[in-house]
């Protein structure tokens, strides 16, 4: 092969994961430079929420972030790979358009997000009240496919916004990226949390063990971030995350304290209680307000982004709780009991 | 050097001289938003500070992290 970057591997790029079906096997083989691209027909036959399609899509998107060890960086814009990626995106997006219950308008969607159940039964409630360290470790491992690149998928939207929406979105992202201080970048704070929990903090380490519902949540962000046509949905997605994060983070901070997970583990969620209480206000009033002032016809997309986020998060929560209630693992394989302390 | 950033740190700047006013957003419901960094003096005289680009100050007094908003003002089902 004549790829010009084979001699310059990214030292931090993760290993390619194992395939989970014919579609991901085809994409992974293509990434290794072995075979011609799989045809788009494969995507049409795959379960849009299943392991095979979600892993294949995740790997396509990862080329836009950190890439993979041994994969030519130029594959990011390989026409064959982009063709199969587009087929997978269409399948995923069509499933969401079909399955997501969408609110009539922005006001009702936001109102529902702002209403907290007095007593919940989902993951963060479970972890607060009865979670053990093994649950917290699994939760952190499957969330690491996002949190180790926290806020990165949302940075794609910046050139697609302007005026108030852009200024406000940049200010929230600046906060996510540590306000100019490397040690306070949220992805770094999450790596510190993982170290407290005895997890391997290497980027991409837990892609292989992460189940499809966890990958789908991140794939939605990448999908919405990478397509300018979906900028309204990206903003809605981001708002849903910021609005629901603060109360959930409070429960997770309590879980970390109760189990003695460690100071960095507590700090990550404590920081998100306060930060996201601010981000919620800025995103709702400035980012959404500013965007819809400029482009009012995007309201439906904003609502779709919110509702699709809730839909995929609920699917992930159902998966995790079903596994834990059955006393099993929420990952594709249980974590080793002890992990050598990460450097 | 005329643009030396340390120029900005030579003691407090008199109001209206060189510094932009800090904007405070006071909504009907929800926290008060103040451009950071801020120092907040509490009733007992303690001073807490935040250097976030913007801070959300609790106005409902329900926050467990008073004076910072922790979204405790929200309606519950």
> Is the pLDDT at A271 greater than 80, yes or no?
yes
Closest-CA residue to A276 (of A247, A246, A298, A304) = A246
Angle at A140 between CA A136 and CA A143, to 5 degrees: 135
Task: Return the pLDDT at B27.
Answer: 86
d(Cα A189, Cα A253) in Å, to the nearest integer?
Answer: 13
Residues near A38 by beta carbon (within 8 Å), at least 6 away in sequence:
A22, A23, A26, A27, A30, A84
A contacts of B70 (beta carbons < 8 Å): 246, 250, 273-274, 277
Burial of A248 (0-12, 13-18, 19+ CB in 10 A): buried
B contacts of A279 (beta carbons < 8 Å): none
For chains A and B, count residue pairs whose Cβ atoms are closer than 8 Å.
58
Q: Do A281 and B56 touch (CB under 8 A)?
A: yes
CA distance A246 to chain B (A): 7
| Domain A104-325 homologous superfamily, CATH | Heme oxygenase-like (1.20.910.10)
pLDDT digits (tens, 9 = 90+) for A70-90: 999 999 999 999 999 999 999
Q: 3-state class of A312 per DSSP?
A: helix
In A, what residues contact B, Cβ < 8 A?
A: 114-118, 171, 174-175, 179, 246-247, 250, 273-275, 277-278, 280-282
Q: Do B76 and A116 touch (CB under 8 A)?
A: yes
> Is the pLDDT at A5 greater than 60, yes or no?
no
B contacts of A115 (beta carbons < 8 Å): 74-77
Closest-CA residue to A339 (of A143, A196, A207) = A196
Question: Chain B residue with minimal CA distance to A274?
Answer: B70
Task: Return the pLDDT at B17.
Answer: 54
Helix (H) or strand (E) holding A106: helix A106-114
Q: Output DSSP code: residue A115.
A: -
A contacts of B69 (beta carbons < 8 Å): 274, 277-278
Q: Which residue in A114, A171, A274 is closest to B68 by CB distance?
A: A274
Question: Chain B residue with minimal CA distance to A269?
Answer: B70
Question: Chain B residue with minimal CA distance to A247?
Answer: B71
B contacts of A280 (beta carbons < 8 Å): 71
Q: Which residue in B50, B53, B65 is closest to A273 by CB distance?
A: B65
pLDDT band at A42 (very low <50, low <70, confident <90, very high): confident
Question: Chain A residue with minimal CA distance to B26?
Answer: A281
Question: Chain B residue with minimal CA distance to A250?
Answer: B70
Question: Chain B residue with minimal CA distance to A170?
Answer: B53
> Is the pLDDT at A205 greater than 90, yes or no?
yes
A contacts of B31 (beta carbons < 8 Å): 277, 281
Task: Return the pLDDT at A37.
Answer: 73
Helix (H) or strand (E) holding B49: strand B47-50
User: The whole model's pTM is what?
Assistant: 0.90
Q: Which of A283-287, A326-330, A335-339, B64-68 has the lowest mean pLDDT?
A: A335-339
- Render the burial of A259-292: b for 16+ CB within 10 Å, e for the rest: bebbebbbbbbbbbbbbbbbbbbbbbbbbbebbb
In Å, what is the CA distance from A60 to each residue of A64, A97, A98, A305?
8, 22, 24, 21
Instruction: Look up the ipTM and state it.
Output: 0.81
d(Cα A181, Cα B63) in Å, to the nearest integer?
Answer: 28
pLDDT digits (tens, 9 = 90+) for A169-187: 999 999 999 999 999 999 9
d(Cα A317, Cα A333) in Å, to the nearest integer?
Answer: 18
CA distance A174 to chain B (A): 9
Domain boundaries, chain A: 22-98, 104-325
Q: Do B53 and A118 touch (CB under 8 A)?
A: no
B contacts of A286 (beta carbons < 8 Å): none
d(Cα B32, Cα B25) in Å, to the nearest integer?
Answer: 6
d(Cα B50, Cα B41) in Å, to the nearest integer?
Answer: 12
pLDDT digits (tens, 9 = 90+) for A129-177: 999 999 999 999 999 999 999 999 999 999 999 999 999 999 999 999 9
The separation between CA A265 and the C-alpha centre of its own chain, rounded to angstroms, equals: 19
Contact A61, A82 (CB under 8 A): no
d(Cα A113, Cα A111) in Å, to the nearest integer?
Answer: 5
A contacts of B68 (beta carbons < 8 Å): 274, 277
CA distance A34 to chain B (A): 49
């Amino acid at each position: 092969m004549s790829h010009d970057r084979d001699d310059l591997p990214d030292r931090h790029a993760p290993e390619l994961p194992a395939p989970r079906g014919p579609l991901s096997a085809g994409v992974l083989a293509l990434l290794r430079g072995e075979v011609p691209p799989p045809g788009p027909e494969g995507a049409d036959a795959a379960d849009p929420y299943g392991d095979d399609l979600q892993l294949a899509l995740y790997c396509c998107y990862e080329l836009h972030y950190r890439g993979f060890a041994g994969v030519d960086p130029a594959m990011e814009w390989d026409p064959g790979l982009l063709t199969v990626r587009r087929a997978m995106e269409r399948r995923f997006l069509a499933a969401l358009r079909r399955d997501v219950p969408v609110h009539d308008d922005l006001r009702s969607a936001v109102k529902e997000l702002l209403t907290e159940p007095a007593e919940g039964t989902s993951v963060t409630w479970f972890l607060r009240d009865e979670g053990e360290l093994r649950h917290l470790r699994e939760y952190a491992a499957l969330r690491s496919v996002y949190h180790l690149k926290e806020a990165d998928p949302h940075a794609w939207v910046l050139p697609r916004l302007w005026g108030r929406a852009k200024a406000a979105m940049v200010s929230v992202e600046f906060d996510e990226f540590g306000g100019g201080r490397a040690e306070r970048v949220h992805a770094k704070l999450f790596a510190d949390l993982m170290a407290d929990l005895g997890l391997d903090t290497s980027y991409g380490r837990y892609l292989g063990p992460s189940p499809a519902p966890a990958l789908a949540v991140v794939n939605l962000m990448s999908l919405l971030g990478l397509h300018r046509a979906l900028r309204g949905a990206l903003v809605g997605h981001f708002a849903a995350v910021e609005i629901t994060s603060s109360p959930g983070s409070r429960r997770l901070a309590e879980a970390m304290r109760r189990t003695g997970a460690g100071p960095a583990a507590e700090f990550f969620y404590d920081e998100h209680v306060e930060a996201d209480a601010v981000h919620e206000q800025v995103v709702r009033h400035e980012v959404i307000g500013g965007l819809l002032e400029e482009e009012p016809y995007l309201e439906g997309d904003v609502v779709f982004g919110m509702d699709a986020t809730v839909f995929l998060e609920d699917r992930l929560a159902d998966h995790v709780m079903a596994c834990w209630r059955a006393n099993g693992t929420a990952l594709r394989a249980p974590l080793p009991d002890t992990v050598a302390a990460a450097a | 050097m005329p643009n030396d950033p340390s120029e900005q740190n030579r003691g407090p700047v008199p109001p209206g001289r060189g510094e932009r006013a800090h904007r405070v957003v006071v909504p009907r419901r929800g926290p008060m938003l103040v451009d950071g960094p801020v120092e907040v003096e509490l009733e007992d005289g303690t001073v807490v500070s935040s250097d976030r680009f913007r801070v959300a100050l609790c106005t409902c007094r329900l926050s467990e992290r008073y004076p910072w908003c922790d979204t405790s003002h929200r309606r519950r089902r």
